[in-house]
Structure 1
Amino acid sequence: MLLFVIFCLLGCTFAQLPKPCISPGQWEARVRTSNPQLKAELFGKLTYDSVYHRTRILQDVTVGTTETYYDIITFYEGKLAFFIDKKTDVCSRVPFDQPWRDYGIQADARFVREAYIGSSAVSSSGLLVTVWSGNTTIPINQTATYIGTWTYDGCLPISDITFEPHDRINYTFFYDITIGISDPNVFIPPRQCLTEKEYNMRHTLFGSLKSKNLN
């Protein structure tokens, strides 16, 4: 009888574990990333499209005492990125072969807990979030562990902490998220980045249509 009760309790416990919610596929946000070990800090505005695996970020990066300003458009499936130096307006076109980093909750993520940012004791003074952890592949093609936070309502990302090899920790925080992409042409690179032929076909190659062969 006792064994039966234990199995029933275990069944109830597992049944109550939340399933990963589904984040919006396209959104925009302000983002802050820091890596204390590298003395690196990034502030930027991110346009994120997990439907077609592409991003655009206007970023201000400080590494030590060096500060740079870049506008970066990345096409993960096309394996191509454009780096526009905002100081010189020079555009660099580079091959880009890194895995897509999805800021939604992964299907194999492990549920950690629910919590309030702020307080649940006073009305409208807290935000209910869910916390998940798992493994991810970082740009140097190594596996790292992460722990992330998403809003309970809407499943919007709030924070991502990635524990990289060599005791490096990368912190990312998202602010002022708006769902959807306000400018349908945001992923079209500036004129100086494109050949004449590409510029004439810019809406087909880089606009709303998905393209896997950009280079």
Structure 2
Amino acid sequence: MQTLALVSITLCLAVNVWAQKPRHCRSPPLVVGSLTVSAREGEFFAEAKYTYDALQKRVRFREFGCNNSQSFHTDKLILFRKRVMYDISYHDHSCKRIPLRVHFHPMEVPREAKLLSEVVLGSSSAPGQGLLVNIWVGNVSETGGKYFSTFTEFGCLPVSSIYYSNSTGWVMTSFFNNMNGIGNPEDFIPPDFCMRKENEETEWGTERDFFEALF
């Protein structure tokens, strides 16, 4: 009898979990992982390793890719609290210090986003064969852009994002190999040669959004 009662309670809890409507969520504050970005109808493609710190509002990207048939490699350190982005090159020990005119946007489901659907990537026929995710849609009022973002139901980790604005066109991002925590805090310390006065760049045009900062 006790076994039957336990099974009944377990089933009720399971039904309640699956019946809950997906909620807006925020990713863990410290994450490392990889991503790919494709834009401009395939003319721009990049793969990057990133380190993300929402507590101190800073991100490090190390990416390589192809832009208009030209290969490139970049290393960007973005410190939102200090309102500066470092474009770093260890090859020739050069560094551009670029004033940052954009605000930090945490990896999260924005409050104004609307749930499009909840789906399983892969298969739900057996444990471990699928991943439950939520697809959200919304608009970015600051840039006039719009997005479709996919986050895991458990853990609130980003899976993919499709973004569009008149200035960037369609930007497709896929995330993979995400892990909680930061392995190397020195990722957020600019190298010594970035502190040289000749490496400072004082102009950066008009305000841009986060995706334009990457480009």
What TM-score, normalized to structure 1?
Answer: 0.76
The SS at the match of 1:162 is strand
Deviations 1:30-74 (A, max 9, x none): 110010436101111001112222100111131111121111101
The SS at the match of 1:102 is coil
Seq. identity, %:
27
Q: State how far apart, in whole Å, the 1-side matches of 2:40 and 2:189 are.
A: 33
Q: What 5-or-longer segments of structure 1 have no aligned partner?
A: 1-14, 197-215
Deviations 1:102-132 (A, max 9, x none): 2211122111111001011233111111111
Q: State how far apart, in whole Å, the 1-side matches of 2:103 and 2:42 are.
A: 22
Deviations 1:131-176 (A, max 9, x none): 1111226xxx522110111111111001010022268210011110
- Give the aligned residue type for 2:98: V
Task: Say if 1:136 and 1:26 are closer, same or farther in 2 by CA, change over 3 A.
Answer: farther
Q: What 5-or-longer segments of structure 2 have no aligned partner?
A: 1-18, 198-215
State the Cα distance separating 1:91 from its structure 2 match. 1.2
Aligned equivalent of 2:158:
157
Q: State how far apart, in whole Å, the 2-side matches of 1:113 and 1:172 are.
A: 19
- Give the aligned residue type for 1:90: S
Aligned equivalent of 1:20:
24
Determine whether 1:70 maps to 2:49: no
The 8 Å contact of residues 25 and 156 in structure 2, kept in 1 or not, is answered as yes
CA RMSD of aligned residues (A): 2.1
Q: State how far apart, in whole Å, the 1-side matches of 2:186 and 2:43 are.
A: 34
What TM-score, normalized to structure 2?
Answer: 0.76
The SS at the match of 2:187 is coil
Determine whether 1:182 maps to 2:186: no
- Give the aligned residue type for 1:162: Y
The 8 Å contact of residues 26 and 179 in structure 1, kept in 2 or not, is answered as yes
Task: Say if 1:123 and 1:16 are closer, same or farther in 2 by CA, change over 3 A.
Answer: closer
Aligned equivalent of 2:138:
134
Q: State how far apart, in whole Å, the 2-side matches of 1:96 and 1:32 are.
A: 23
The SS at the match of 2:41 is helix
Q: State how far apart, in whole Å, the 2-side matches of 1:99 and 1:60 are.
A: 25
Task: Say if 1:152 and 1:71 are closer, same or farther in 2 by CA, change over 3 A.
Answer: same
The 8 Å contact of residues 135 and 143 in structure 1, kept in 2 or not, is answered as yes
The 8 Å contact of residues 70 and 86 in structure 1, kept in 2 or not, is answered as no
Q: State how far apart, in whole Å, the 2-side matches of 1:50 and 1:134 are.
A: 22
The 8 Å contact of residues 31 and 173 in structure 1, kept in 2 or not, is answered as yes
Determine whether 1:117 maps to 2:121: yes
Task: Say if 1:193 and 1:167 are closer, same or farther in 2 by CA, change over 3 A.
Answer: closer
Work out the number of aligned pairs and report it: 179
Runs of 4+ in 1 over 6 A off after TM superposition: none
The 8 Å contact of residues 32 and 174 in structure 1, kept in 2 or not, is answered as yes
